[in-house]
Amino acid sequence: MANSLRTPEGPGVLIRIESVTKRYPDGTVAVDRLSMEIPDRSITVLVGPSGCGKTTTLRMINRMVEPSEGTILLDGEDIQRQPVTTLRRSMGYVIQNAGLFQHRTIVDNIATVPRMLGWGKQKARARAAELMERVGLDTALAKRYPYQLSGGQQQRVGVARALAADPPVLLMDEPFSAVDPVVRKGLQDELLRIQEELGKTIVFVTHDIDEAIKLGTMVAVLRTGGHLAQYAPPSELLSSPADAFVEDFLGGDRGIRRLSFFPSGRLELTTGPVIPLDATAEQIAAPDALWLLVTDADGRPLGWSEPGDLAAGDIRPDRLLSHGRPFVPGTDSLRVALDCAVLSPTGWAVAVDTDGRVTGVVSQQTIGEAIRSAHAAGRDDEKVAG
Amino acid sequence: MANSLRTPEGPGVLIRIESVTKRYPDGTVAVDRLSMEIPDRSITVLVGPSGCGKTTTLRMINRMVEPSEGTILLDGEDIQRQPVTTLRRSMGYVIQNAGLFQHRTIVDNIATVPRMLGWGKQKARARAAELMERVGLDTALAKRYPYQLSGGQQQRVGVARALAADPPVLLMDEPFSAVDPVVRKGLQDELLRIQEELGKTIVFVTHDIDEAIKLGTMVAVLRTGGHLAQYAPPSELLSSPADAFVEDFLGGDRGIRRLSFFPSGRLELTTGPVIPLDATAEQIAAPDALWLLVTDADGRPLGWSEPGDLAAGDIRPDRLLSHGRPFVPGTDSLRVALDCAVLSPTGWAVAVDTDGRVTGVVSQQTIGEAIRSAHAAGRDDEKVAG
Amino acid sequence: MNVLNFVNSFFSDSAHWHGYDGIPARLGEHVRYTLQALLLAAAIGLPIGLVTGHYGRGGNALSLVATAGRALPSFGLLVLMTTLLGFGMLPVMIPLVILAVPPILVTTYEAMRSVDPSPVDAARGMGMHESRILFQVELPVALPLILSGLRSAAIQIVSTATIAAYVSLGGLGRYIVDGLYQRNYEKVVGGATLVAVLALVTLALFWAVARTAVSPGVRRR
Amino acid sequence: MSGFLHDFFDIPSDLQHSWLGLIGLHLREALLPVAAGLLLALPIAQLCVRFRWLYPPVLGVTTVLYAIPSLAFFVVLIDYTGQTELTVMIPLAVYSLVVLVPAIVDGVRSVSEETLAAATAMGFGPVRRYFQVQLPIAVPAIIAGLRVATVSSISLVSVGMLIGNQGALGNLLHDAQIYNRPELTWNSVITTALLAILVDALLVLVRVLLTPWMPSGTARRKQAPALEDAAR
Amino acid sequence: GGTSDDPLKGGGAKGDTVVVGSNNFAESILLADIYGEALKAKGIKVTYKPNIGSRETTYGLMKNGTITVLPEYNGSLLAYLDAKAKPKTVEETTTAIDAKLDSKLELLKPSAAQNKDSVTVNAETAKKYKLTSDSSIADLKDVAKDLDFGGSPEFQTRHQGLAGLKSVYGLEFKSFKSLDAGGPLTQTALKKNTVQAADLFTTDPTITRDKFVVLKDPENLFGFQNVQPLVRKGELSKEGAAALDAVSAKLDTKALLDLDAQVQLEKKDPLDVAKAWLKSAGLV
Ligand SMILES: Nc1ncnc2c1ncn2[C@@H]1O[C@H](COP(=O)(O)OP(=O)(O)OP(=O)(O)O)[C@@H](O)[C@H]1O
Ligand SMILES: Nc1ncnc2c1ncn2[C@@H]1O[C@H](COP(=O)(O)OP(=O)(O)OP(=O)(O)O)[C@@H](O)[C@H]1O
Ligand SMILES: [Mg+2]
Ligand SMILES: [Mg+2]
């Protein structure tokens, strides 16, 4: 979960929404004096319950909806100043069910905007093929039609199509909400990867708070009536919800979920209780620990045992207690480390390197301390910022 | 989360699926020699990836699909022996999008089966009204038509309709998968409540493992091809997935999620570090603790502070660190307790009674020990059972 | 030539309002032919459409039959039937019914097929009998479309029933055929106007039937 | 038998065409009006899509025009266009509107919100959107309408016999009568029906060729709304 | 291809091509074929516009020049032009027609062949009311109110039709059934007793076949009905006119009856029948 550790890189503001109100002809106020700064080259997520004005906000950015009041600036310039088609072509747009052109092949769908911009057929298709690979689609699918693709694949085509003309901005309206959870997770990971590689500015709408927290560099929680309830990085959202509405919307497990944003790299590991399968009686007795982790010849974990149950030279792997899931310090977050510790019968989490070789173990207590110091660091940051 | 603490009550078997195979005319083997015992008066969840044969299995129970091989016994009797309509009328059936009759009002939708069974119009409607209340629908909606209801309300009507003739069995095929997450959670809670009140035998199909774990007394994980990968209570599923497929399907956080099934009632609380707002200097100095929890006059938590930062008689609530979310021992699970501890800046979770008055605090370390002993108890159970 | 003048003089000629060749008589005949043909066509098209639509089978055969039915020239059939069967209602009814069955048949089939399958599934799961599913679950939802099929058929019959005049029967076609051979434009235009008005009335009737017979839940307002 | 076959295909000289000639004539008289109807229906339908309120009155007017018997049309037209094919074809073109307009309107309307939004967001203007997105996606519905219109047109051409040999295969009906040759009636009816079925099959083929993007299995359900009006 | 190839060209007869038209019944087509083939034999270019419709239509097309030559029946033509005329001889008929005829049209010489409208009853009715070929229309005076009469739609309003039957013979039928102009519908209706009396052409071969009885017309309501070519003035060459005169000179009622029978009973093609007759009459 590379993303879990991402921090806002604090770059410039690309899109500035200034006191924007949208009143529909029937009187509905969908967005009410909304002001927001959307940072460059990061994912900003709009999240909130149904009907809170997410889609309206998003569509005002590419002028598919015109604000009733207020202005929106793109790169410092009022978007009203540009011809609407030029504006739109500088922004990719991805929606639920992809909105593909059912009458065009995949490659032609993706090549739509380049072709409109006057690229040659050859060039546009080459670009489309390149993008298919980038979004993780087999190029063998190029000549197929949308109906021949699964929902997840269609959604990938939607993303590729939006990226085709290399627009600096990507607007995404609940793009993954119609696919099943497993595929959805894949698409989210893919999006994070693509964002990291291409550095687009993405405005992402969802009503799923977990998705918002997973994807967002910044998350804007809207409440019905188009009011901005809170606009903050996800970890701050989890630790300090602005009000009861946001807290409620965030749901349970806030503490544990927040741990996703803390790295496990600084956890102090100990190798004391780690012994090899062919450990001598001294090695077994030495550590003065309640539990010992036995590893195989390669250093991969086999399982836990109480020292008293081990006989030197006759350690039976099938008699050991499961070592549970190991974690990779540096790559995994504190959340994973804690989960490993909780799942482990001994309360100790096993740390391994990327090859799966044990690099040490860490107790739930140590993890707890790490969590506290991370909290403290967070508080200090706030103080510095304040 | 009353459910989190539910344990299978180990009652009799109501439905017995015996080595059932379903081969569709086109050769697809949707279910392959499946054997399962579905316990009485509990929720059994079938979960698995798309196309793994969940729907087929469910529909064989009410004979909407006839097995190619094998038998299904209801209450010990082969379902083939009964007239198919009698069988079906003894089983409520709820599907995605509710499948309401759009030309009938809500009350008439719910009254369908009673009317079919020959009840008088008056009686059937009274029953329908009663059921609307039971599933949490305002009876003012009775005269509306389905299109005038939200997706969640429609789904409730679907459940009410299935319950109308008070059938002992309820078959539910992804009933909640088309509604948004917030509404979905409400529907799930409602279902648990209804099940507890009415004691129905529910067979529930979903492809969402979280839903399965939340709802199921027993969970059957199917893999593509209609093979039963594992059939176990959810906590066992989380602690000991049968194979890599199940482990993968369960996703991350298994350890922490499993804590939902451990009660927090036996946690040892301490009241040592708890002091009132008007604490004396002695009260502040006495506990010999790193952190103190300050409560108001009613005993409700105000926040944490290091003892050194407190001046007797002049404790400023706005200077205190947030006490985070408190938990209610006995009602909440160990998972909630751990989350509270993790979220707390001090690593201590605050326990309150149902009125929100502090009953004590507990350290993350103590919670860790409780987790370990719960694990050990689980192991012992297994040994006893084995 | 001014069509409106013709219409005006046709309708203001009091001779056109009495007797066996008067407007009331002719209109009555026309309505009778129309109703007879529509009822016959419905009696054939509805049951077949409902059943095939319910089971979802035979759609291709149905569409072939419908195409053939549509393709048969009504006029040719009329002539053929008259030579085969002599004069009377039967040779007129046959082409009218053949004309009206395809729209009824095809729309009924399509209407049944387009019913959302999930309520049907739910009904089956409740232990409803197939016939009950057909009449109490599918039919009420398919009704607007079925009515539109009947409406098309009715309009076509109203228009085509004029051919009855060609084989000496009455109806509004009388004015048109007579007018044509007598070079009496007034009659032709008057007759055509009456047919168009009758078509409008038919439209209105079907609209009213749809308002009352279709559940507000299906109409969605 | 061969005698019957001989009589069957022995077309009286006053029709001035061979059997195949009549078929060609029939096709021309039936298809040209539908083509003209299509050209007319496209802009009308687009107006109806654009201005929703226009649709019900347009439907009403086309239905009323459709209800006017062709004979009456002929009588009115004959003063302007004489005893010619044109007199036959004008009403047929008008009739085809009652099927084509709703078919196109429904087809164009059937394009999903999402697809339209995607097109707009990509910077498609209204014209481009119409020709590159809405119209192509409406093709199956339009062809469904064309099928009904064409088949009806083929059947209706026969009435042209009433205005002096302008009914192509329909003229056989009259000759069958005046020469007491019923086999000519059979010829007319059967040939017309076969012709219609053949042209219908051809249109299906055209649809398949034009819409490789359509799922073959599930097509039926999606087509239902278009067929509603096509059956009119 | 026929004239239908240039549908909008009103004056199809201009130039060197002669357009021979005909009404929509078999005999008219046959006569047109005879005229046309006779003209062709003189090297005149001929196109046919057969099967047009009733006189009301064909006369219009003659006037506007769509057709050049049309086989006509002098009595009917006169009745159409002047309903009140009551000529006593063929010559008087011609004179009366000339007075009313459009200035662009003229009649050529009449033939001896006659084909009149008639009041014809079927065998059953004849038997019932004891009618024979010597009976006259007037004999129906008392029974007409019990009879259904069949005729073309135009018969209903023409003087040489229902109107004349009433004013001249005082007949009022029980009902009038609009059928066709002495065509198969009328024949069938009469045969099947759908109507008991009908307007049939006297040369109709089914009269003898089906034992219908033609009633005499002592008041000469249906006038003289000599077959006579109606042509557009100056659009037919001298040879052409001569050829048609030659045809008229040879054609008599008996010949016509025979030719009609060949077409309608023996199912020969009218064009073949026409050619054969022209040949046998030595006209080609
Ligand atoms: N064209 C419109 N005319 C009138 N009201 C509209 C229109 N579009 C949206 N609304 C209303 O504006 C409000 C906000 O709509 P919007 O679509 O922006 O919500 P959303 O947050 O995207 O909701 P969802 O999660 O359901 O997509 C809603 O109350 C909606 O009913
Ligand atoms: N009527 C049928 N004919 C042929 N194959 C079928 C039929 N119904 C289902 N199948 C196939 O049987 C397999 C299991 O289908 P089933 O509907 O039971 O899966 P499921 O687990 O309910 O999937 P989902 O989560 O997508 O609803 C699938 O491969 C499916 O394609
Ligand atoms: Mg939205
Ligand atoms: Mg399923």
| Three-state SS at B218 | strand
Amino acid at B338: L
pLDDT in tens, B132-154: 999 999 999 999 999 999 989 99
- Residue A156 has a pLDDT of 93
- Residue B46 has a pLDDT of 97
Nearest CB to A345: which of B325, B345, B375? B375
How confident is the prediction for chain C on average, in pLDDT?
89
D17-230 architecture in CATH?
A: Orthogonal Bundle (1.10)
Edge-to-edge strands of the sheet including E148-151? E175-178, E148-151, E197-199, E119-121, E213-214
Contact of B59 with B91, CB cutoff 8 Å: no
Nearest CB to D68: which of C159, C177, C180? C159
Whole-angstrom distance, CA of residue D15 vs CA of residue D171: 7
Chains contacting chain E through 3 or more C-beta pairs under 8 A: C, D
Q: Read off φ and ψ for residue A292, nearest 5 degrees.
A: -125, 140
Whole-angstrom distance, CA of residue E125 vs CA of residue D187: 36
Write out the DSSP string of B284-341.
HHTT--S-EEEE-TTS-EEEEE-GGG--TT---GGGSBP----B-BTTBBHHHHHHHH
Nearest protein CA to atom 29 of ligand 1, as residue: A51
Cα end-to-end span (Å), chain C: 47
Q: Read off φ and ψ for residue C36, nearest 5 degrees.
A: -60, -50
- Residue A380 has a pLDDT of 62
Question: How many angstroms is it from A53 CA to the middle of ligand 1?
Answer: 6
pTM of the model: 0.85
Residue pointed to by tokens 């008689």: B313
Whole-angstrom distance, CA of residue B370 vs CA of residue B365: 9
Whole-angstrom distance, CA of residue C104 vs CA of residue C45: 5
Question: How many angstroms is it from A222 CA to the middle of ligand 1?
Answer: 13
- Residue E13 has a pLDDT of 40
Determine the average pLDDT of the residues in A338-343.
88
pLDDT tens-digit profile, chain B (386 residues): 334 334 444 468 999 999 999 999 988 999 999 999 999 999 999 999 888 999 999 999 999 999 999 999 999 999 999 999 999 999 999 998 889 999 999 999 999 999 999 999 999 999 999 999 999 999 999 999 999 999 899 999 999 999 999 999 999 999 998 887 778 889 999 999 999 999 999 999 998 899 999 999 999 999 988 999 999 999 899 988 999 899 888 988 888 888 888 888 888 898 888 888 888 888 888 777 788 899 988 989 998 888 888 887 788 888 888 887 889 998 899 999 998 888 888 888 999 999 989 999 998 888 888 888 887 776 665 544 43
Signed CA dihedral, E161, E167, E169, E172: sign only: positive
Rounded to the nearest 10 degrees, how much is the dihedral formed by the CA atoms of C207, C209, C210, C216? 130
Chain C environment of E175 (Cβ under 8 Å) = 20
pLDDT in tens, C155-206: 999 999 998 988 888 899 989 888 877 778 888 889 999 999 999 999 999 9
Q: Report which DSSP code applies to A231.
A: E
Residues 6 or more apart whose CB falls under 8 angstroms from that of E106 comprise E98, E230, E231, E232, E233
Residue pointed to by tokens 């009455």: C170
Kindly give the residue spans of alpha helices, DSSP state H, lying in chain E: 26-41, 55-63, 74-81, 90-100, 123-128, 164-169, 184-191, 206-209, 238-250, 253-264, 270-280
Whole-angstrom distance, CA of residue D36 vs CA of residue B269: 88
Q: Is the pLDDT of residue D230 over 50?
A: no
* Ligand 1 in reach of A55 Cβ (< 6 A): yes
Ligand located closest to D217 CA: 2
pLDDT in tens, E235-279: 888 889 999 999 999 999 999 999 999 998 888 899 999 999 999
Domain covering A15-260 in this structure, CATH number:
3.40.50.300
| Three-state SS at A186 | helix
Q: Is the pLDDT of residue A301 over 60?
A: yes
Residues 6 or more apart whose CB falls under 8 angstroms from that of C189 comprise C3, C6, C7, C10, C179, D72, D75, D76
CB within 8 Å: D84 and E52: no
Whole-angstrom distance, CA of residue C102 vs CA of residue C152: 10
Q: Is the pLDDT of residue A182 over 80?
A: no
Whole-angstrom distance, CA of residue D22 vs CA of residue D6: 17
Pocket probe mutation, ligand 1, options A32, A52, A204, max atoms within 8 Å of Cβ: A52
How many residue contacts between A and B have a Cβ separation below 8 Å?
102
Nearest protein CA to atom 14 of ligand 2, as residue: B53
Question: How many angstroms is it from A229 CA to the middle of ligand 3?
Answer: 17
Contact of C53 with C112, CB cutoff 8 Å: yes
Q: Is the pLDDT of residue A6 over 60?
A: no
CA angle C153, D154, C52 (to 5 degrees): 45
Residue pointed to by tokens 């929902």: A151
What are the structure tokens assigned to B219, written together?
A: 């969970």
CB within 8 Å: D139 and A103: yes
Signed CA dihedral, D101, D104, D107, D111: sign only: negative
- Here the ipTM equals 0.82
Bridge partners, B78 (sequence order): B73
Q: Is the pLDDT of residue D228 over 70?
A: no
Determine the average pLDDT of the residues in C129-140.
94
Kindly give the residue spans of alpha helices, DSSP state H, lying in A75-171: 84-89, 106-110, 112-116, 121-134, 151-163
CATH 3.40.50.300 segments of chain B: 15-260
Amino acid at A259: L
CB within 8 Å: B254 and A339: yes
Q: Is the pLDDT of residue A19 over 90?
A: yes
Residues 6 or more apart whose CB falls under 8 angstroms from that of A14 comprise A38, A39, A40, A41, A74, A75, A168, A169, A201
CATH 3.10.580.10 segments of chain B: 274-377
Q: Report which DSSP code applies to A322.
A: P
Pocket probe mutation, ligand 2, options B31, B32, B55, B224, max atoms within 8 Å of Cβ: B55
Q: Is C156 exposed, middle or buried (0-12, 13-18, 19+ CB in 10 A)?
A: buried
Bridge partners, B169 (sequence order): B91, B201
CB within 8 Å: D213 and A147: yes
| Three-state SS at C183 | coil
Amino acid at E258: D
CB within 8 Å: D71 and C107: no
* C in contact with B (at least 3 C-beta pairs within 8 A): yes
Atom of ligand 1 nearest to the CA of A58: 18
Whole-angstrom distance, CA of residue C141 vs CA of residue B154: 18
- Residue B9 has a pLDDT of 45
Domain ranges of chain D: 17-230
pLDDT confidence of A1, banded at 50, 70, 90? Answer: very low
Contact of A381 with A262, CB cutoff 8 Å: no
Question: How many angstroms is it from B205 CA to the middle of ligand 1?
Answer: 32
Whole-angstrom distance, CA of residue A59 vs CA of residue A243: 27
Pocket probe mutation, ligand 1, options A29, A31, A46, A55, max atoms within 8 Å of Cβ: A55
| Domains and their CATH numbers in chain C | 3-220 (1.10.3720.10)
Chain C environment of D72 (Cβ under 8 Å) = 176, 188-189, 191-192, 195
Closest CA to A263 of A330, A337, A361: A330
Contact of B209 with B249, CB cutoff 8 Å: yes
* Ligand 1 in reach of A30 Cβ (< 6 A): yes
Give the homologous superfamily in CATH for domain A274-377: CBS-domain (3.10.580.10)
- Residue E15 has a pLDDT of 56
What are the structure tokens assigned to A347, written together?
A: 């309360």
CA angle D72, C14, C154 (to 5 degrees): 40
